[in-house]
Structure 1
Amino acid sequence: MKIKQFKDAPLSHFSYALVSNGEMALVDPSRNPVPYYKYAEEENAKITAVFETHPHADFVSGHLQISKETGATIYISEKVGVNYPHRSFDEGDSVKVGNVTIKPIFTPGHSPDSLTFHAFENDEHVLFTGDTLFIGDVGRPDLREKAGNMKAKRKELAKMMYHSIQNKFKDLPNDAKVYPAHGAGSLCGKNMSDADSSTLGNERIGNWAFKDQTEDEFVSEILKDQPFIPSYFGFDVDLNREGADNIQSSKYSIPLKLNVNNIDNELLVVDTRDEQLFKKDHLPNSINIMARGENDKFETWLGAIIEPDEQFNLVLEGIDNFDEILERVAKIGYEKQLKGIFTLSEKITNSSEAFDLLSFDKNKEKYTIIDIRNASEVLEGKIFENAHNIPLNELRKRIDELPKDKPMVVHCAGGYRSAAGSSILESEIDKVSVYDLSEDIKKYKS
């Protein structure tokens, strides 16, 4: 068998193509199927199967579009409860892709309907572990309390994960290759390795989840210090259960207008440009969520700041960014909320106030300092002792908690989030100056 890994860097998502004897299977594909189609052409292979380990929370899968366009069968657990054409695939079942046999292993824990796919040919064994087993970690168990066909409490799922790790992999060989759905940087786990694959033997040695421990010890460890849950996660679980619309037709139905001075509607504006361009000129009611390249976690913060049912407009730096940023919006299923895409004219004059760092440095007591890092980051140490901590994903809902008798200075850990945070406050608060400490925060970190 031949396996190709596809990486979506901003979401730290891995998907896979397995090729054998002219047939191709996809595992946990991203929403846009074109890269898989190109690879199928390169390999002169027919896409015959799409395997879904579970309904994902952090991205929209293209499984339904791929099935419609290629005739491939979708294999997914009956427990997910989907209505689109598929083949129920659960423990005890198997299917052949070329010369490779693929069997599902029921591995609940991240979700109550998670599967691991065991692919084997002769003495070669591969495990597509989805969000169950990561490299160095396991999937978080706190995402399915409010979404999906099967809902489960986090402690209940944590116990399921313990038993999945203890029992479901024990009869598999140490040299079985482990291919997870995510790597470091994903919010689907907390301590994932930078490695993109491993072996089961290496995970048995180095992954904390395989250590000899009681169920209570495991549950305590997996539940502590999990990262925040973006607003869009439950929305994407349900969208993946339904099956998303064709991405190309969804993306290109959104109106585009160039060189505008204003926007007719009063919807929120998400401005994707670099913070320096945003601060120089932007539209009213704008939030600066930068999308300059794959290192910017644009998808995560768009889906954390904007609610799944909230309509918004989008500002691009230029038309060269059009396809890429539309793709990133659609990756989390937010294109239906997007009502217009715009580039700005040079006549826009609304700007952010310049920040006097020297004055702040000498008179910090004259400012309200707002720390928008996550609670777990703050627990590791405050940067400014008297700062108000409201995580960025909660800021829009908690603005009323902030005193408004002094100018405000917003900071995060490196500068990316504070651009969004300061723009939120600037758009929502009148008669109080709002400043972004930006990358200057690094001067104050010990």
Structure 2
Amino acid sequence: MKIKQFEYEPLSHYSYALISNGEMAIIDPERNPMQYYAIAKANKAKIIAVIETHPHADFVSSHLQIHQETGATIYNSEKLGADYPHQPFDEGDSITIGKATLTAINTPGHSPDSITIMAKEGKETVLFTGDTLFIGDVGRPDLREKAGKMQAKRQELAEAMYHTIQHKFKNMPDDAVVYPAHGAGSLCGKSMSDANSSTLGNERMGNWAFKNQTQEEFVNELLDSQPFIPSYFGYNVDVNKTGAATLRNAIAAIPFKMNSTTDGLIVDARKESEFKKGHLKKSINIQASSEEDTFETWLGAIVAPGEKFSLVIEKPEDLDMILQRVAKIGYEKDLQRVLTLSGENLIKTKQLDLENFKKHPNSYTIVDIRNKSELAEGKIFESALSHPLNELRKTTANIPDSKPIVVHCAGGYRSAAGSSILESALDGVTVFDLSDAVEQFRE
């Protein structure tokens, strides 16, 4: 049994290929399936199964496309109520991939329809735990309260997670390898490790969820201080329940214009320095200039599902990259056009006089756009007003505009988006981005 782990860093997402004796299963695939096809070809393996541990909230899966292009059977819990062709895969069900046997275990908690897949070949046991068991944590139970048509209460799911951790992994061996669907940085949990795998024995020793505690203690810990929920999460759950369109077809019809202009809601994906040199009026700067930028998360947190928008990129060579990234969260349906700028009639962002700000901070309105969970750890500026970035477009009207505004986050990436939101919304008000200079003000 050969396991290949794939990582998509901006969403801290892990997907997997399991290969045995010329056959292959794909677990929790991302939107573009070509990397899985490449592995199948390199190993001369036939893709016969694609398995969804649950309908994901933070990315769009390619399970339906894989089924259509390879003939592989889709397996998932019947509790999901999937609208695409599939084979139910619940407790007691098993499938054979080459010489490996894959068994489904219903593990509700993150969602009512979550499953864990136990794969065995010889003496080797592997667990694909989806968003149930992470390394150092468990999946958050509060994503389904606003998840479109598939709602469930967080208290009930938190209690279900307690029973899952207490009972569903009880008789499994300590040397079983744990492969989760996410790592540190994902919003599907709050305290995940940087490690991309573990053993069940190590999790029993080091993961807080396995310690001896009452259900009440477990639930209180699980529900406490979870990060914000981006507005696109519920939308993605519904897309994954239905099955997304083939990626090539989904992005093919989006028009591209060079040296152009546009109006309406504009997302400028260029790096901060280029945006500040010149951008279209009312643009929001959500950077996608590197593979590490968390573009998808913030696009889906700032722009609501169904909201039409245009995208600005630096150069034509960036077109495929940005279309792929938009499609990761299913937003290609609302993307009206992609364009490069002509260089005419652009707005330049004013640069903050940092020394003046240090000497006279009370001459500015300081806006802290960090998440509420970050704010709970302490303010960087005592006078700062809290307006989390994911809520900022709705709360801008509550920000005093009698003084110049300085926007800060924790490291600089998000403040580029936050300052551009305020710049676009507050006519006649000077808005500055503190950017990475925020590091100079930490104790």
Q: TM tier, shorter chain?
A: over 0.9
Q: Does 1:119 align with 2:116?
A: no
Identity of aligned residues (%): 63
Query: In the alignment, which residue of structure 1 is the partner of 2:211?
Result: 211
Given that 2:148 and 2:235 are in contact with CA atoms closer than 8 Å, whether structure 1 keeps it comes out as no
Q: What residue number does 2:155 align with? A: 155
Aligned pairs for 1:96-175 within 5 A: 96-147=96-147, 150-175=150-175
Q: Under a length normalisation based on structure 1, what TM-score does the superposition of the two structures give?
A: 0.98
Letter in 2 for 1:408: I
Q: What's the secondary structure of 1:49's corresponding residue?
A: strand
Any idea what the Cα deviations from partners look like across 1:394-414, whole Å, max 9, x if unmatched?
Answer: 000001111111111100111
| Residue of structure 1 in register with 2:178 after alignment | 178
Q: Structure 2 matches for 1:41-440, cutoff 5 A?
A: 41-147=41-147, 150-260=150-260, 262-263=261-262, 266-440=263-437
Distance 2:233 2:119 in 1: 29
CA distances 1:90-137 after superposition (whole Å, capped 9, x unpaired): 111111111111110000000011000011012111100000000010
Gaps of 5+ in 1: none
Q: In structure 2, how many angstroms separate the alpha carbons of the residues matched to 1:65 and 1:352? A: 43
- RMSD of equivalent CA atoms: 0.9
Query: What's the offset of the Cα at 1:348?
Result: 4.0
> How far has the Cα of 1:147 moved from its partner?
2.0
SS in 2 for 1:330: helix
Q: Deviations over 1:261-290 (max 9, x none)?
A: x22xx3211001111111110011100001
Question: 3-state DSSP class of the match of 2:346?
Answer: coil
Give the match's secondary structure for 1:398: helix
Q: Which amino acid aligns with 1:19?
A: I
Cα gap change, 1:95/1:149 in structure 2, threshold over 3 Å: closer, same or farther?
farther
Q: Report how many residues are paired.
A: 443
TM-score by length of 2: 0.99
Following superposition, the deviation at residue 49 of structure 1 comes to 0.1
State the shift of 1:148 in Å.
Answer: 5.8
CA gap of 1:149–1:122, structure 2 versus 1, over 3 A, is farther
Tell me the SS of whatever aligns to 1:145.
helix
Residue pair 2:150, 2:238 contacting (<8 A) in 1 also: no
Residue segments in structure 2 that go unaligned for 5+ positions in a row:
none
Tell me how far apart the structure 2 counterparts of residues 395 and 140 of structure 1 sit (CA, whole Å).
Answer: 24
Distance in 2, Cα, partners of 1:218 & 1:355: 46
CA contact (8 A) 1:270 1:286 kept: yes
Determine the C-alpha separation between the residues in 2 that align with 1:441 and 1:148: 37
- Letter of the structure 1 residue corresponding to residue 328 of structure 2: K
Q: Check conservation: 1:81, 1:149, Cα contact below 8 A.
A: no
CA distance in 2 between counterparts of 1:240 and 1:398 reads 31
**8 Å Cα contact 2:91/2:106 also seen in 1:** yes
Displacement of 1:195 after TM fit? 0.5
* 3-state DSSP of counterpart to 2:104: strand
Give the match's secondary structure for 1:26.
strand
CA distance in 2, matches of 1:409, 1:297: 22
* Letter paired with 1:203: E
Deviation of the 1:12 alpha carbon: 0.3
Question: Residue 79 of structure 1 contacts residue 150 of structure 1 at CA under 8 Å; is this kept in 2?
Answer: no
d(CA) in 2 for partners of 1:349 and 1:50? 48
1:149, distance to aligned residue in structure 2 (A):
5.5
The whole-number CA distance in structure 2 between the counterparts of 1:377 and 1:237 is 26
Asked if the contact 2:270–2:285 (Cα under 8 Å) also holds between the matched residues in 1, the reply is: yes
Tell me the residue number matched to 1:22.
22
Q: Is the 8 A contact 2:281 2:346 kept in 1?
A: no
Whichever residue aligns with residue 109 of structure 1, its letter is G
**What do residues 44-95 of structure 1 show as CA deviations (whole Å, max 9, x unaligned)?**
0110000000000000000000000000000011110012111011111111
Letter in structure 2 aligned against 1:88 = P
